[in-house]
Amino acid sequence: MCNTTELMMVLTPADFNVIEDAMRAVAPKPGRIMIDDGHREAVGRAVIRLYTAGVTDPARLADAATVMAATRLLDRRRWPTQDA
């Protein structure tokens, strides 16, 4: 189910720059292999959720989103649900 508050939010180019900076901070270092286990998508969702909640510092966004995503993915692996 969609949250109508999220649907009505308009992001500016400046907003996207902050979100992009946070996602770049989470990106793997050159030469590292990226395993597509859903982590990057989960981090992206967490970055957007945190940003729309008022966290606007890219470094803090990256750190918090990484923890949120890792916790969520760990929970899904431990206790799988039908939607996971």
Task: Please state, in angstroms and rounded to a whole number, the distance separating the CA atoms of residues 5 and 21.
Answer: 24
Residue 17 has pLDDT above 70, yes or no: yes
Task: Please state, in angstroms and rounded to a whole number, the distance separating the CA atoms of residues 61 and 47.
Answer: 6
Range 34-37 contact pairs with CB under 8 angstroms and sequence separation of 24 or more: 37/73
Q: Which two tokens stand for residue 47?
A: 């970055």
Asked if 61 contacts 24 with a C-beta cutoff of 8 angstroms, the reply is: no
Which has the higher per-residue pLDDT, 8 or 9? 9
pLDDT reported for residue 14? 94
Q: What is the mean pLDDT of residues 1-15?
A: 69
Residue 83 has pLDDT above 70, yes or no: no
Q: Each residue of 20-56: pLDDT tens digit?
A: 999 888 877 666 655 666 778 888 888 998 999 999 9
